[in-house]
Structure 1
């Protein structure tokens, strides 16, 4: 059956992802993706510390590939490492960071760890964060401590698709402590968020300014053209007057000559 094969394949991918997570402790592991290629299975590992994933002279990757071949019977697994751009906005990396710091410093400083991580995440541009540390912290009785800041959706489709959630464990002397992290990244689009397009108003203002400038230039050109016409008319009038004067002088000369001839 095709359905059974599909379920087997997804189960195998889930087991491989868990194996990679357990193998890459304290390496800033974010997530793993699997792709089928003609050459074999391609496994993409996203981590904040690619150097720790690779290891010295690539020993960690070689060991991981050999373990995948033996345990899951993969023919030619190709491991590709991708670096996470902003690790403070990744819930898996943040949860792993909290668990490692609790294992290092103990349960007495869990409040300082929670507030420090929360401030780093909000400083990276997150809209909201929630951290829940549950276990025998700091007393012998189990208790849950909640750290939250900003705006975080708890229900609806955005709570599933727009919120990055992760879970991690910290092994302490008093027992196992569970860590839940929920982060709302800055690029989530909320349905009740309305943006006003101010660019259109700026464009209208620019068009109005251009129209005003064009009108001013047209007026100036009209004034200049009218002034030029007046100047030309004046020049033509002066030319006509000079011609008339010349004609009158010529007529006077001719009359004087005729009178002289008559007297003779």
Structure 2
């Protein structure tokens, strides 16, 4: 019985994370942490660009709290934002940047994008990195390109 309750809570936390991820595109979203308090639920959002999460005059946070109240039946959600110390060491942020770079510069520059991300992550202090870019990128045939360095 306790296991089912635990699974139900974790599924709810996953749905909350998915909801927040869709609400703040381009903010370098990493992950969320849900803390239960006597006053209500406290949701901590970790992002590379906290200013984009807040929005102008806090409008994005208001939309997120209203959505949390309406969709997840949270009575008093308190949204808090924390900045990631080194965003280039977070896999989700790096993948988001690779995606936006591919959209911005086109698919023909995928090798340059892969090697630039490789250098920036290693410059941030990582011991090793492996980037896999797959799909029909250079031609009509699907292929996987692997960029790696370090351990």
Establish whether TM, by shorter chain, passes 0.5. Answer: yes
Aligned length: 151
**Distance across 2 between alignment mates of 1:51 and 1:138:** 36
Give secondary structure in 1 for the equivalent of 2:42: strand
CA RMSD after TM alignment: 0.9
Indicate the residue corresponding to 1:91 in structure 2. Answer: 91
Q: Which structure has the highest strand share of the two? A: 2
Q: Deviations over 1:150-195 (max 9, x none)?
A: 11xxxxxxxxxxxxxxxxxxxxxxxxxxxxxxxxxxxxxxxxxxxx
Please name the residue that 1:40 is paired with: 40
Alignment of 1:160-179 (within 5 A): none
Residue 18 (structure 1) shift? 1.2
The alpha-carbon deviation at position 103 of structure 1 amounts to 1.2
CA drift at 1:138? 1.8
Question: Is residue 53 of structure 1 aligned with residue 53 of structure 2?
Answer: yes
For residues 1-264 of structure 1, the aligned pairs below 5 Å read 1-151=1-151
- After TM superposition, where is structure 1 displaced by more than 6 Å over at least 4 residues in a row? none
Q: In 1, Cα distance between the equivalents of 2:89 and 2:2?
A: 38
Q: Distance in 2 between matches of 1:4 and 1:126?
A: 38
Q: Distance in 1 between matches of 2:35 and 2:133?
A: 35
Give 1:105 deviation, angstroms.
1.4
Higher relative contact order (CA 8 A, sep 6+): 2
Secondary structure (helix, strand or coil) at the match of 1:137 reads: coil
Is the partner of 1:26 in helix, strand or coil?
coil
Q: Per-residue CA shift, 1:230-253, capped at 9, x if unaligned?
A: xxxxxxxxxxxxxxxxxxxxxxxx
1:104 partner SS: helix
Q: CA deviation at 1:3?
A: 2.4
Q: Which residues of structure 2 form unaligned runs of 5+?
A: none
The alpha carbon displacement at 1:48 in A equals: 0.9
Q: Which has the higher helix share?
A: 1
Distance 1:51 1:4 in 2: 37
CA distance in 1, matches of 2:117, 2:85: 17
TM-score, normalised via structure 2 length: 0.96
Task: Report the structure number with the largest CA radius of gyration.
Answer: 1
TM-score normalised per structure 1: 0.56
Shift of 1:127: 0.6
Report what 1:262 is aligned to: none
